[in-house]
Structure 1
Amino acid sequence: MLQVAIKKKLADFTLDVQFTVENNILVLIGHSGAGKTTILRAIAGLLRPDEGTIIHNECILFSSTTKTFVPPQLRRVGYMFQEFALFPHMDVRKNIWYGVKQHNHTTNELYERLLGLLHIEHLTTRFIDRLSGGEKQRVALARALMAEPAILLLDEPLSALDSDTRLELQAELKKIQGIWKIPFILVTHDISEAKALGDRFLFIKKGRQTAESSLQAKEFLECPNVG
């Protein structure tokens, strides 16, 4: 379980959120600039909150009380950025393996498994500029999972894709989360995408959770006023 209770003063408001995530998909919903990406960055260790705690399975990643701050490289948090952040001077294989410390039988098996799950076996020798948007998304997801994260963060990963590709990759994400069984936290402002992917939802407005934040998937899908 991931437990987050943090405050961070930003330019226009103070981010103040408190939530937990089991081994399912939590979707953060809100307008641009609401603080969604700031939450991801705090969990990843790319930003230090002013107050609060971030705890994963009893491991304290951040605590303002005890002055604990685990650096990003030690958190086992995978972060899939909106712009994918792939390396254009490397082919697909090297991008996926980037950051993996050990090359052994176990990691080789994981690599082959990810290629199959994401249907990118035929792309391994291609460079990034020769990939479509959907192919880049799959490669970025494979790279994030190759690090065997305990938590996966996804910042609007499907926003730049056409509708058909988005639907296909939504299904892939759900399938992979079901296999990995780790907390996924996904940022989106697209209500239909949130409904397709989310098990739980957190509505963020100017850094704070709104009343709808306690809705579960069934209630959210049936709510006529959402969006």
Structure 2
Amino acid sequence: MAAQTNAADVKAQLAETLGRCRATLSQTEKTLERLEDEVPPDGCIVPVVHTPDCMFDSIARLARLDANTTFLDLGCGDGRVVDGVTTIAGCRGIGVDIRMECVEAARERFPERAFHQADFCAMVEGAGPPPIGLEGVDACYAHLLPTTFAVLDKRLLEAVQRGLRLVTFCSHPSGAAWDACQTGSDCFGMVRLYEASDDPTRGRLPGGVGAVLRPPAGGGDGVS
């Protein structure tokens, strides 16, 4: 009976995850259609691609956010992720973006949240406006292009190894050191968690493709 109940729970979780994936793909397709009509800001060749609202719960859950934590969106755009995730988790939210027009839009839409204009590299290294060097930040969300991850790679990895929880969406950092830090995922690997861990196999996605459901270390048929 217990095994049947567990199987039903897993099936329900997979159905819920599949639903979120379908919603994500639908919203992403609409966003890509709109990008044809959007003109990037002066000096910027990268358009703003929004994280679908249906991902906010996964981000908050994977990052283990609560009222005692601080959440940072690295590349906050118009601030919707900061507001959505902090509303769900009840945590403190901060957004940073290199484009001042994005920061101004975020401040106008969500005046109760904190938004700053900053160069990502300088901020991670300890310069610029708060959070300086990611000081006081418990979890960071990064929906970035692979080229941006490549520039920030070493700095972000060092922050994760010092205790930062990093959640990524669609595009993810790569390499053996990052693989050792990946401890969780959702939506079939579309959302991933990286953190320092004594159990580097927990939640890992070998080769970066597909989600893996692992039994607990002591055996049995549970799902981690």
- Report the TM-score, using the length of structure 2 for normalisation: 0.30
As a proportion of its length, which structure holds more strand?
1
- Report the TM-score, using the length of structure 1 for normalisation: 0.29
Q: Which has the higher contact order (CA 8 A, sep 6+)?
A: 1
As a proportion of its length, which structure holds more helix?
2
